A and B are shown apart, each in its own frame.
Chain A
């Protein structure tokens, strides 16, 4: 399961909408071993394409070194599909080189709603996982009896079963 703060998801969706109809891409770094996405880093799509994305190799070197210096790792690697569903393509699987990362896909094909899905891609095998979007402003463990009638602190996107 990917657990991620709503403010980060909002920033990723905003990035994907901004670059639409080109694909957008980026990273969310987090402390090594924490599995917690904490620092959103939008990246340039060097391919500037509606059907392909590629990190600029020099920007990637800078960002990966910075993560190394801060004892961070890429917890989430995201990109958008702008005319198709949020499911990894064969190209995505061929390139997936971070076995510890959550591969987050956002589809912007619908103008009003986003499809957000997350996958593990290890040795060419794709496994979908649920996405839990957390509102950091609300402590989910605090005063649970007061939750009646209020908006929930988390929203779970279950796997589609595909």
Chain B
């Protein structure tokens, strides 16, 4: 089953410069494992050592942010389109505090 995946500029070094690649999987985690078998290292840029989706990327299935679809457990279907974008964030605050606030913001948005 083919799922189209749009790759941002910063990760195209893993896809030989390709902007769009295809993969397969029943969940986002399966898809990333499948992609990593052909584009070694890509998964490590998207998933942390603890097995969670990285804060530095946004991943969308069709028009939805996967953080609201179960993140790596998000279900995929044939013909879905997955878009990966670098998250744009920052600010004057220290990183640890900023990350704590951001994850709190995501969890409170998800809880709404």
Contacts and interface: CB of A to CB of B under 8 A. Distances in A.
A89 B63 contact: no
Interface residues of B, number: 27
Interface in B42-92: 56-58, 60, 63, 65, 67, 83, 85-92
A89 B65 contact: no
Interface residues of A, number: 36
Contacts, number: 106
A60 B105 CA distance: 17
Task: Classify the interface of chain B: helix, strand, loop or mixed.
Answer: mixed
Interface string A90-125: 111011111110000000000000000000000000
A79 B90 contact: yes
* Best-buried of B58, B83, B93 by chain A (most CB within 10 Å): B93
B91 A46 contact: no
B67 to A, nearest CB: 7
A38 interface: no
A60 B93 CA distance: 22
Contacts of B56: 94-95, 97
B63 A96 contact: no
B85 A25 contact: no
B8 A47 contact: no
A23 interface: yes
A73 B10 CA distance: 13
A54 interface: yes
26 contacts: A23-B92, A47-B91, A47-B102, A49-B91, A49-B93, A50-B92, A51-B97, A52-B93, A54-B105, A57-B65, A57-B67, A57-B87, A61-B60, A61-B83, A77-B88, A89-B93, A89-B95, A90-B94, A91-B89, A91-B91, A91-B93, A94-B56, A95-B56, A95-B90, A98-B86, A100-B9
Given A52-B91, A57-B58, 6 more contacts: A23-B91, A47-B101, A52-B90, A52-B101, A91-B91, A91-B98
Interface of B: 8-10, 56-58, 60, 63, 65, 67, 83, 85-95, 97-98, 101-102, 105
